Amino acid sequence: MGLNFYDHGNGTVDRRVSADRRPGGGLSAMEYSSLLRSFRTLLGYFNYSLLCVAVFILIPRANAQFNVYHPFPDSGAVWGMTTGCLDQMCGDWAYIQNYMAGDTLINGFNYVKIQENYLSMPGSGCCFPPGDDGPGYLREDTAARKVYWRSMQSGVENLLYDFTLGVGDTLEGFLADNGPGGTGIVVSVDSILVGPNYRKRINIDTTEICIAFSFIEGIGSTTGLTADFYGPGEMGTSLRCFTLGGNVLYTAPCGPPDLVPCGELPIAVVEVPAPIGLPVCISSNPSSGQFTFNTQQPKYIVVYDAFGREVLQTFGTTVDLNGEPEGMYVAVFPSSVSGNYAQVVRLIVSR
């Protein structure tokens, strides 16, 4: 059907719908429909071509990012870990923090000094959370894509990470010699988005995603910088966060982000102070915001959020976080107002 205009010669013009295209008129319905189908087909080919071009452009770019080696930083890096153990109905856990603290020259090689903070959480004392190797020295051979660790305890250098490993290769070096999780064999190699770039990830154990054992370029192990892998069980260490210059580049894949071990920990020494009296317990945790502690006497309490920022200070036996968002917090009980933190309790706000 076409739309045509007719002049009656008396100054009036009307519009008529006709079944056929008349000379000088518009397209018929059949021709119009055919033309529209042709246009849509052409447009479809055009969009498909654009998609193909995008794929051919993006795939090489992703591969290029994957093939580019991302070395460890030489300053400003912080690794934040949690470590814990369970013994039937009781357990203990702690925060471990490794951080870069300048560089040094040993036997003609440049090393980055790694220092450590340790913060013990209150528990029953029924078990001892596993640790890492403590302070030491880190050296990287970027050409060979290998990272070495010199322990302060032994003074011996060992291979820490080999980022040339492929599927089926056996883990060698410091973590292979010390790990109770059995012989490590690479099961897969993929990439993970870290900041704006994809980095190579070597997976040694993926039995449980939340406690997988992997090496990530420029970061290290998902158990921490030098912590062993224990496998699924009742103890282990997990890298909760990795920051560079205060910017968060990595958080653990399971649970809410826990950035406390990457911030200013309330205690900055490896030695753990003895708790005062009985361990502090909470009547309900998680809670919607109100927490009551089992202390017989009021105590001075400082609460930090998951970013290590102070939320409140109070004196008493309760903490009110109803005005704070959901997430994880840390309540610190100093032995005195001036310092020497003695007990720390993790609080979970869930509504």
Q: Spell out the domain ranges in the chain.
A: 2-67, 77-262, 290-349
Instruction: Give φ, ψ of 232 to 5 degrees.
Output: -60, 125
| Confidence tier at 94 by pLDDT (50, 70, 90) | confident
CA–CA separation, 175 vs 163, rounded Å? 14
User: Which of 122-131, 166-175, 285-294 is predicted most confidently?
Assistant: 166-175
* Average pLDDT for 163-180: 85
110 pLDDT exceeds 70?
Answer: yes
Pairing of strands 77-87, 235-244: antiparallel
Which segment of 9-23, 143-157, 194-208, 296-310 scores lowest on mean pLDDT?
9-23
Tokens of 144: 């060979």
Q: Tell which residue, 329, 321, 308, 269, has the closest CA to residue 134.
A: 269
Q: Tell which residue, 78, 84, 98, has the closest CA to residue 307.
A: 78
Tokens of 23: 């000379």
Tokens of 135: 């302070």
Q: Which residues, including other chains, have CB under 8 Å from residue 276's CB and lie 6 or more apart?
A: 333, 335, 342, 343
Give the per-residue pLDDT at 35: 42
Please write the tens of the pLDDT for every residue from 34-77.
Answer: 444 443 443 343 343 333 333 344 444 444 455 789 999 999 99
Q: Which residue has the higher pLDDT, 157 or 63?
A: 157
Q: Which residue has the higher pLDDT, 2 or 97?
A: 97
Give the per-residue pLDDT at 236: 85
Specify whether the CB–CB gap between 344 and 329 falls below 8 A. Answer: no
24 pLDDT exceeds 90?
Answer: no
In sign, the C-alpha dihedral spanning 267, 106, 214, 84 is: negative
Q: Tell which residue, 323, 237, 329, has the closest CA to residue 285.
A: 329
Pairing of strands 2-7, 310-316: unpaired
* Average pLDDT for 159-175: 94
Integer CA distances (angstroms), 120 to 129, 311, 343, in order: 9, 21, 8
190 pLDDT exceeds 60?
Answer: yes
165 pLDDT exceeds 50?
Answer: yes
CA–CA separation, 60 vs 251, rounded Å? 27
| First vs last C-alpha separation in the chain | 64
189 pLDDT exceeds 90?
Answer: yes
CA–CA separation, 105 vs 37, rounded Å? 73
Find the radius of gyration of the CA atoms of the chain.
31
Q: Is 21 exposed, middle or buried (0-12, 13-18, 19+ CB in 10 A)?
A: middle
272 pLDDT exceeds 60?
Answer: no
Give the per-residue pLDDT at 346: 78
**Average pLDDT value over all residues in the chain:** 75
Please confirm whether the linkage preceding 253 is cis (ω < 30° from 0). no
Q: Tell which residue, 245, 257, 253, 180, has the closest CA to residue 216.
A: 253
Tokens of 151: 């322990």
